[in-house]
Chain A
Amino acid sequence: MSLFKQAPPVKEEWSACLAALGQSRDKAEYGRLFEHFAPRVKAYIIRLGMTPANAEELAQEALLSVWRKAHMFDPAKANASTWIFRLARNLCIDRLRREKIQFYELDVDEPDPDEQHAGEHAVLATRMAESIRTLPEAQAQVLYLSYYEGRSHSEIAQAIGIPLGSVKSRLRLGFEKLKQVWGESS
């Protein structure tokens, strides 16, 4: 698409892009975000067990929400990929339950105990990805099953044939390691 010839930003810059979109509502900016995130969101939705047709529809819907909610994105609170992950996740949950809303936006003036600068969130995203890659297989496996296949503790226990307690301790150990990323960045 000729409109979006500009080189895509590196990972750390997506948050700035999304924040800029909230102000400018510029379609070229949106197009860049779309081309980076839509295929990832679609991949995520397929993993959750949706049919490719539904995943296509939901991915488009999620990206439409990115446009509609971009002005609420605050790079001091999350990076772009986390914000878009949350949006896609909520959309899928709503669709799967076709019921009341589980997750809702916190108020703007809600005290935020996790104030961090946008730059730190960007650095953090990169370190987080590195950190995930170094997790022992057993811990990575339970993380993937919960984030990508939407499985509960007992479903994971059943799927890989280990006791519920072991599923939980693997998740705890994995999260413990990933949380060290925050320790390093502050």
Chain B
Amino acid sequence: MNIRHHLDDATLLVYAAGSLSEGMSLLVASHIDRCAHCQVRVRQAEAVGGALLEELTPVALAPDALDQVLALLETDAGVPQARTPRPAVLDADIPAPLAQYLKKPLDELDWRTLVPGVRQLDLRLGGPGATRLLRIAPGLSVPHHSHRGNELTLILRGSYSDELGRFQAGDVADLDEQISHQPISDSGEDCICLIATDAPLRFSGLMGRLVQPFIGL
């Protein structure tokens, strides 16, 4: 996979810290699954966590904590654990972490039409922001908008172009309130992407204001 657009360091750090929302962390895991470049950076960010763990002032456990755990080692709980098997591939375009949530190939998902040519599937993860799949027919665009917080987009199939460049399968757009853009689906097939935000998008044009209640992004 020829990935050209990667995650921001600031995003990788909070991911490694375990502080990203469920949806954003799913998206990051899905990009990393196929991106050796970001895998290295996550390892580095996790090493920051390891160093910080050493720096913490220890808090004593219950006096018999070790005895309790040693007693457990004699039971089933103490049996060495097998490695978690990688989930079966559903669809070559779905990264493994996302497959755990979707359970069906992309074309068999329960897509809802928002406006002609634009379909979506809400993952309904709860928490702040939203996590959804968006499927945009060739040549169509999402209205021009800015963001109130962070917005991560991972391309699963097809491609889109906006003010920042061209994004193809595997690429991630890591945007925030400083960026305003209008993505256009620009290949011969539907552009399918996973989008996770930690706050709703802010549409700028009249068209955007009309569409917003429908898209609910």
Contact = CB atoms under 8 A, between A and B. Distances in A.
B8 A125 contact: no
Nearest to B37: A113
Nearest to A69: B81
Contact of A43 (B43, B56, B100): B56
A136 to B, nearest CB: 16
B52 to A, nearest CB: 5
Given A27-B70, A128-B48, A152-B19, A43 B57 contact: yes
Interface string B162-191: 000000000000001110000000000000
Interface string B4-38: 00001110111001111110011001000000110
Chain B's interface size range is 35 or more
Contacts of B14: 146, 152-153, 171
B52 A125 contact: no
B54 A129 contact: yes
A102 B13 contact: no
Interface stretch (B59-67, B109-117, B136-144): B59-67
A177 B190 CA distance: 41
Interface of B: 8-10, 12-14, 17-22, 25-26, 29, 36-37, 39-40, 43-62, 65-66, 68-70, 72-73, 77-81, 83-84, 86, 96-97, 100-101, 128, 149-150, 176-178, 198-199
